[in-house]
Amino acid sequence: MIGVGTLREVRDDVRAGRRKATDICEQVVARIKAVDGKLGAFNTVTAERALASAAAVDRHPERATLPLAGVPVALKDNLSTRGVRTTASSKILEHFVPPYDATVVTHLERAGAVIVGKTNCDEFAMGSSTENSAFGVTRNPWALDRIPGGSSGGSAAAVAAQITPLALGSDTGGSIRQPAAMCGIVGLKPTYGRVSRYGLLAFASSLDQIGPLTQTVEDAALALSAIAGLDAADATSAPEHVPDYAAGLNGDPPTLKIGVPRALLDEGVDAEVSAAFNSALEVLREHGARLVDVTLPYAGAAIPVYYLVATAEASSNLARYDGVRYGFRAAAARSAAQSGQTMHDDLRAMYGATRAQGFGPEVKRRIMLGTYVLSAGYYDAYYLKSQQVRTLIRQDYERAFEHVDVVAMPTSPIPAFKLGERLSDPLQMYLADVFTVSANLAGLPAISVPCGFTSANLPIGLQLIGRMFDETTLLAAAYAHERHTEWWKRHPTL
């Protein structure tokens, strides 16, 4: 067997004493060594620490009964890990070692999971290809000359290449679902507030959400139960009850109504993506689901609204990286005394040089855009207007959910593109997000599951979007599709 198997297989074996957590961990570390030179999925590998926590699972019988006992996990490198470098794939945080763990990290370790490393991503999660990393690109395990999607590309590649059965990513406008689709795996963005964001290096706080990338829907359900829940450290985390999501997956849901926004899908969708999407709907229909036409009249505004809201929030969130509080500081060119300037000028020069040298081009572009839309005189025209249209987009979904249980669309309009292909054209890159950003703007849970391959053997993803806090129905719908298809069983050969 290549890889250690699914999350469910690993934890069942560890619980039953069929495999040792330490052996599994060693196998994962060996696989990283064997294949990550080709992929570039990891920024940091925490082999020693992982082996120590695996040993604790083997040594203490009570740890071996935990819900994620011995399950190796890779974490996107924008999730804070105490004592372990956390970079957000930015030069400005290249040597940053957080003094605390993100809440999801605490939850995972309490559940018996073993953290094996930190994965590459677009700098501060800004991008759709994982090419905007200060530490090099990650390659798609299905085609090494192609992008893995982004921004959680390292996490998606690690799971698709069967390195770890579980990885966490963050999704601000599609960064879990889109790389999951492009790498042929499952990616779940929970409802806004479902999972604590404490310890996630913020990109756009009203959109960011942490979620799992896995090989199967059941694994996504198991992972979500472990990381979800109210957290006193995140005021936006919700006091909703956390169900046993995996227990909710049994057979086909009786009367599933699936909304299909046909008008949205007429233009700009690759023909092979379209065909795979239609077959996926057919599979669901054959097994009892009802397909219902829905309209989302404001969907066309989702990309501009998203790029106004996300950049505005990013410009504010990233103001904290100034060379004083965190990470990298540029050496001052001249001291104030030498140049006859005031101390104040010197400090400003240090801020400027730190940010000029520390941030990459896409992050700078977003800070400038965001600062512009928030500035006096433009605020009403851009930021306020985008918030108003955001409400209309949310209401589109509220209306649709009066008639249907989930809304279906492709995850990405295109399969994985070639490395470098869209890098010089940010607008083309932004268009890869047309189907994912609206779930973030509306705060809704959404999942991507494998639903086919192109003739060039590139994976295609089906996206399902659910009602607020109704991950149970969303997962049941995704599971119904998975049970009647075999796409998720395919793995790339490396």
Rule CB under 6 A: choose which of 113, 126, 186, 406 binds ligand GLN: 126
- Does residue number 471 form part of the binding site for ligand GLN (CB under 6 A)? no
Active site residue 129: no
Q: Out of 76, 91, 118, 189, which one is annotated catalytic? A: 76
Helix (H) or strand (E) holding 66: none
- Does residue number 360 form part of the binding site for ligand GLN (CB under 6 A)? no
Footprint (CB under 6 A) of ligand GLN, residues 178-197: none
Helix (H) or strand (E) holding 447: strand 446-453
Amino acid identity at 333: A
Q: Tokens representing 179?
A: 């790389």
* CB 149 to ligand GLN: min, Å: 9
Is residue 328 within 8 Å of residue 353, measured between CB atoms?
A: no
Closest CA to 119 of 75, 163, 79: 75
* CB 202 to ligand GLN: min, Å: 11
Active site residue 76: yes
Amino acid identity at 48: E
- Does residue number 171 form part of the binding site for ligand GLN (CB under 6 A)? yes
State residue 154 phi and psi, 5-degree precision: -65, -40
Is residue 489 within 8 Å of residue 217, measured between CB atoms?
A: no
Rule CB under 6 A: choose which of 128, 164, 214, 485 binds ligand GLN: 128
User: What is the total count of residues that contact ligand GLN (CB under 6 A)?
Assistant: 14
**Which residue carries 């042929």 as its tokens?**
184
Of 119 and 354, CB closest to ligand GLN? 119
Of 46 and 128, CB closest to ligand GLN? 128
Is residue 410 within 8 Å of residue 108, measured between CB atoms?
A: no
Stretch that binds ligand GLN, among 87-95, 126-134, 321-329, 368-376 (CB under 6 A): 126-134
DSSP string, 193-218: TTB--TTB--S-TTT--EEEEESSHH
Q: Tokens representing 133?
A: 């990393």
Of 429 and 477, CB closest to ligand GLN? 429
DSSP 3-state of 116: strand
Q: Out of 129, 133, 155, 175, which one is annotated catalytic? A: 175
DSSP 3-state of 19: coil
Closest CA to 76 of 208, 258, 210, 239: 210
- Does residue number 116 form part of the binding site for ligand GLN (CB under 6 A)? no
Footprint (CB under 6 A) of ligand GLN, residues 403-432: none
* CB 310 to ligand GLN: min, Å: 5
Binding-site string for ligand GLN from residue 307 to residue 336, where x marks contact by CB under 6 A and - marks none? ---x--------------------------
DSSP character for 382?
A: I
Q: Tokens representing 81?
A: 């890990």
Stretch that binds ligand GLN, among 171-179, 223-231, 258-266, 315-323 (CB under 6 A): 171-179
- Does residue number 447 form part of the binding site for ligand GLN (CB under 6 A)? no
Rule CB under 6 A: choose which of 6, 90, 120, 151 binds ligand GLN: 151
Strands, sheet with 210-214, edge to edge from the N-terminal-most edge strand? 42-45, 114-119, 72-76, 166-170, 210-214, 186-189, 446-453, 459-466, 406-410, 257-260, 290-293
- Alpha-carbon Rg for the chain, nearest whole angstrom, is 22
Of 30 and 368, CB closest to ligand GLN? 368
Rule CB under 6 A: choose which of 40, 67, 127, 450 binds ligand GLN: 127
Active site residue 418: no
Is residue 261 within 8 Å of residue 291, measured between CB atoms?
A: no
Stretch that binds ligand GLN, among 8-16, 95-103, 119-127, 388-396 (CB under 6 A): 119-127
Beta strands in 195-276, from DSSP E residues, in sequence order: 210-214, 257-260
For residue 403, count other CB atoms closer than 10 A to its CB.
11
Rule CB under 6 A: choose which of 87, 130, 175, 411 binds ligand GLN: 175
**Which residue carries 């809201």 as its tokens?**
309
Of 103 and 209, CB closest to ligand GLN? 209
Rule CB under 6 A: choose which of 433, 447, 448, 472 binds ligand GLN: 433
Binding-site string for ligand GLN from residue 202 to residue 241, where x marks contact by CB under 6 A and - marks none? -x--------------------------------------
- Strand 290-293 relative to strand 114-119, pairing: unpaired
d(CA 115, CA 74): 6
Stretch that binds ligand GLN, among 172-180, 324-332, 349-357, 449-457 (CB under 6 A): 172-180
Residues marked as catalytic: 76, 151, 175
What residue ranges bind ligand GLN (CB under 6 A)? Answer: 125-128, 151, 170-175, 203, 310, 433
